Amino acid sequence: MDARLRRVNKEITDCKNDKASNVQIELIDNSPFHLKGTFQGPEDTPYEGGCFDVDIVIPEAYPFQPVKMKFITKVYHPNVSSASGAICLDILKDAWSPVLTLKSTLISLQSLLCSPEPNDPQDAEVAKHYMTSKQSFNDTARYWTHIYAGGPEVSGAVKGSKVTQDDAEQDEIAMAGLEKAHVDQFESLGFPRSKVIEVLRRLNYRGANVAKINEDRVVEELLK
Amino acid sequence: MSSDYEYSDDDGDYYDEDELMDQDDQVANHSADSAPSEEEMDIDAFDLPTKGKQKSYHIESTTLSKHDLERAMDENIEYIAGIFGIEPEVASILLRHFEWNKEKLTEKYVDNPTGINAEAGVSAKPNPPRSTTSGSSRSTRRTTPASSRSKKSLSVEGPFVCPICFDDTQTRTLALACSHKFCTECWTAYATNKIRSEGEFKTTCMAEECTLVATDSFIQSVLATDLPTFDRFKELLARHFVSCNRKLKFCPYPECAQTVSCPAAASKFALTTIIPIVNCGDEKHKFCFACPIEDDHRPLICSVSKLWTQKCRDDSETANWIKSNTKECSKCQSTIEKDGGCNHMTCKKCKYEFCWVCMGPWSEHGTAWYSCNRFDEKESVEARDAQSKSRASLERYLHYYNRWANHEQSAKLSMDLYAKTEKKMEEMQLTSALTWIEVQFMKKAVDEVFRCRMTLKWTYAMAYYLQKGNEKELFEDNQRDLEKAVEDLSELLEQPIDTETIGALRQKVTDKTVYVQKRNEIVLEDSAQGYLEGRWKWNTPVEGFD
Ligand SMILES: [Zn+2]
Ligand SMILES: [Zn+2]
Ligand SMILES: [Zn+2]
Ligand SMILES: [Zn+2]
């Protein structure tokens, strides 16, 4: 039997048989080379309670080439693209070793959620948010976990913005990790709300940064 | 005669062109990013004593065959192995780690052999790798504290299960000095992937976070049944060696396995005074040692040539318009297509004779050819004083570009012409008394025309950037003399050949070829001297000039 197929089959079976494991691997279609991995968000992180799906593609030269993984579930994290789910993690690139497995790689992803590396970001805007205000970042990440990963409802306060009870309705402001007061302030100048959110997010109008960014600068950006 | 055949036996035939080109790119990138500084590498064996009476424009270089190159690598390896009393294979890994910089390696190794051995992957790092099954092995990004675990982890009792392929029927296993055991098949697949897919010669142990590097003999043993891949491995090593050495460059011609050593071009500073056009021993494999421009871009130095090619790329739209192969006869407006290298055009319809370059009547060119090579800036500006400045500068550029592109096109067309003529020459050899040697004058003439058109082409790029003044005028005088001679010779080459006149034609062509060669030499020699004397001043900032 083809060594790659034997190895992948064995990995899938081992993972199924390991009841203690909190990592699951299943087939997406009939091919064992395109899989879906799932794990729980780690405890004591804003991802706690969420369930995260990962798209897994086994390359031709596996395990001598790294497996390709990206998040299916949207994640608010400096090393994960908030748009595409692409992941910046060294073992998926140069630091890959053929002894690593799908399971160990998924566990590495899980622990990536515990310890972001904002200095090697995949999503620069999210990384900036993380660097500026850990608290505000955590709120947003928790909110995303709730909306996208089925995490618990955000208790009480994403600061300054009221979270509606309806799960289906997403609060744009909370999604962007901004404060309602700030958005209202510029919206009242006559700019459309979505544009205001877009600009404030890009300028990282959060936490201590707010004091550093001149309001004229925001207006200037809004006028562009 | 001989140089064509000398190296053909060890050509690397097994890889295709694309692969090789990719490699070239990589090598080029590599040397641009981390080019070793001038004094870092010193391969004395290639330094030639400068010969006394060479032309200034001739840059000394030597050719190394594949075997010469391997010998040069071995000499370095033996030197290091000798002074430290280590195995040549170990010395080789150390040298690669230090980009073949013997001095730096020696200095560091004396200080801290243990540390260097670990860093280069010669011996295992002090803290052993964590077991791969331990859950939270997130990444190597985090430097784990040295957990002093013993090395027993993989010495299994019972049947061996390869941790890569999970096959428990494999009986043949291999491990590096770190004792991380894997089945032979996995080692082979791993090394093959490294070498073939990643173009990487450094193969580390497969265990996670184990940085031990496989020795060449280990690689050889796992690739024992795949010689082409092992040869590719050696090729990668050689390319790395060359890319680490400023004095060396691979011949860029795809089918060629030669390396050129050109110590004179090893420093960046030298490139403000010389143009290192070299060849690998095969006259046809001519290239610039210092830059990626394929042409022989003499008499213009590398940095200004780059400015020019960049400008041409930027202005490619105008260039395309100019480049077109057809023009209208300025008398009868019928379309005329250029079909030979000669610029003396005759309209098929109205018989009007004109110069392809300036479109002026040819009759004036016999005496006043200068009007075609020299852009009269003053007149042009005055005549169009209503026009904007940018228009004037575009026209100035087009003046030079037009002539630049024209020589390139003519050079190509003259090769086409030669193909036609060659056929005729073959026939003549059969029907006339001329021998094979005697009909070679045609080839010599066409080759010379080609060479000179390359020079002329770049003289226009050079003139574009030369500051106005006496020096530029003298330069353009030489340019004009060469251009006139080349056009005359080109015209001779387009004349019909027949048995009665061939003797006379042969004499004429041969004389003219000698003359053209001389004119070309004057242009090249004078411009080369000019660089050495600091005579050339540019009208734009150029690195290394003030
Ligand atoms: Zn194996
Ligand atoms: Zn090892
Ligand atoms: Zn060559
Ligand atoms: Zn050059």
Out of A64, A82, A114, a domain closes at A114
List residues in chain A touching B: CB distance below 8 A: 3, 6-7, 10-11, 61, 63-65, 89-91, 95, 97-101, 104, 107-108, 111-112, 115, 117, 120
Minimal CA separation from A91 to chain B, in Å: 6
ipTM associated with this complex: 0.78
Centroid of ligand 4 to alpha carbon of B464 (angstroms): 17
| A119 is a domain residue | no
Searching chain A, which residue's CA lies closest to the CA of residue B208? Answer: A97
Considering the domain architecture, whether residues A104 and A15 belong to the same structural domain is answered as yes
Considering the domain architecture, whether residues A78 and A16 belong to the same structural domain is answered as yes
Considering the domain architecture, whether residues A87 and A130 belong to the same structural domain is answered as no
Considering the domain architecture, whether residues A105 and A168 belong to the same structural domain is answered as no
Out of A95, A114, A133, a domain closes at A114
Out of B51-65, B205-219, B313-327, the most confident range is B205-219
Give the pLDDT mean for B266-281. 88
Q: What is the pLDDT of residues B380-426, one digit of tens each?
A: 444 334 334 555 677 788 889 889 889 988 888 887 877 877 777 77
| A153 is a domain residue | yes
Active-site entry in B342, B355, B358, B452: B342
Out of B149, B177, B212, a domain closes at B212
| A59 is a domain residue | yes
Considering the domain architecture, whether residues A132 and A68 belong to the same structural domain is answered as no
- Give CA B311 to chain center in angstroms: 21
Considering the domain architecture, whether residues A109 and A128 belong to the same structural domain is answered as no
| A69 is a domain residue | yes
Out of B212, B237, B255, a domain closes at B212
Please say whether the beta carbons of A99 and A66 come within 8 A. no
Out of A96, A114, A132, a domain closes at A114
Considering the domain architecture, whether residues A17 and A106 belong to the same structural domain is answered as yes
Residue B277: phi, psi to the nearest 5?
-85, 120
Please say whether the beta carbons of B384 and B392 come within 8 A. yes
Please say whether the beta carbons of A24 and A38 come within 8 A. yes
Domain span at residue A180 reads 124-223
Could you tell me the pLDDT band of residue B53, with boundaries at 50, 70 and 90? low
Q: What is the pLDDT of residues A149-163, one digit of tens each?
A: 988 887 654 544 444
Please say whether the beta carbons of B56 and B532 come within 8 A. yes
| B32 is a domain residue | no
Centroid of ligand 2 to alpha carbon of B211 (angstroms): 7
Model pLDDT, residue B242? 93
Q: What percent of chain B has pLDDT over 70?
A: 71
Please say whether the beta carbons of A122 and A14 come within 8 A. no
Out of B212, B244, B271, a domain closes at B212
Q: What's the structural domain count of chain B?
A: 2
Query: What is the pTM (predicted TM-score) of this model?
Result: 0.67
Q: Which among A7, A97, A108 has the least Cβ separation from residue B165?
A: A7
B342 as an active site residue: the answer is: yes
Please indicate if any CB of chain A lies within 8 Å of the CB of B139. yes
Task: Give the lowest-confidence range in A1-5, A58-62, A147-151, B361-365.
Answer: B361-365
Q: What is the pLDDT of residues A94-114, one digit of tens each?
A: 889 999 999 999 999 999 999
Task: Give the lowest-confidence range in A26-40, B75-89, B386-400.
Answer: B386-400
Model pLDDT, residue B334? 61
Q: What's the structural domain count of chain A?
A: 2
Considering the domain architecture, whether residues A172 and A86 belong to the same structural domain is answered as no
Q: What is the Cα–Cα distance from B196 to B125, expressed in whole angstroms?
A: 28
Domain span at residue B497 reads 400-546
Burial state string for B160-174 with b = 16 or more CB within 10 A and e = fewer than 16: bebbbbbbeebeeeb
**Chain A hits for B208, Cβ within 8 Å:** 97, 99-100
List the Cα angle A27/A28/A31 in 5-degree steps: 65
Considering the domain architecture, whether residues A109 and A134 belong to the same structural domain is answered as no
CATH code of the domain containing A85: 3.10.110.10
| B74 is a domain residue | no
Pairing of strands B277-279, B286-288: antiparallel
Could you tell me the pLDDT band of residue B529, with boundaries at 50, 70 and 90? very high
Considering the domain architecture, whether residues A93 and A177 belong to the same structural domain is answered as no
CATH code of the domain containing B435: 1.20.120.1750
| A86 is a domain residue | yes
Average pLDDT along chain B:
77
| B282 is a domain residue | no
Q: What is the Cα–Cα distance from A62 to B542, expressed in whole angstroms?
A: 50
| B302 is a domain residue | no
Strand runs labelled E in B236-325: 248-250, 259-261, 277-279, 286-288
Centroid of ligand 1 to alpha carbon of B488 (angstroms): 72
Q: What is the pLDDT of residues B227-262, one digit of tens each?
A: 999 999 999 999 999 999 989 999 888 778 899 999
Centroid of ligand 4 to alpha carbon of A187 (angstroms): 58
Q: What is the Cα–Cα distance from A175 to A149, expressed in whole angstroms?
A: 14
Residue A57: phi, psi to the nearest 5?
-120, 125
Considering the domain architecture, whether residues A64 and A105 belong to the same structural domain is answered as yes
Q: What is the pLDDT of residues B116-158, one digit of tens each?
A: 999 999 987 665 444 443 334 344 343 333 333 333 344 445 6
> Given a cut of 70, is residue B308 above it in pLDDT?
yes
Considering the domain architecture, whether residues A10 and A104 belong to the same structural domain is answered as yes
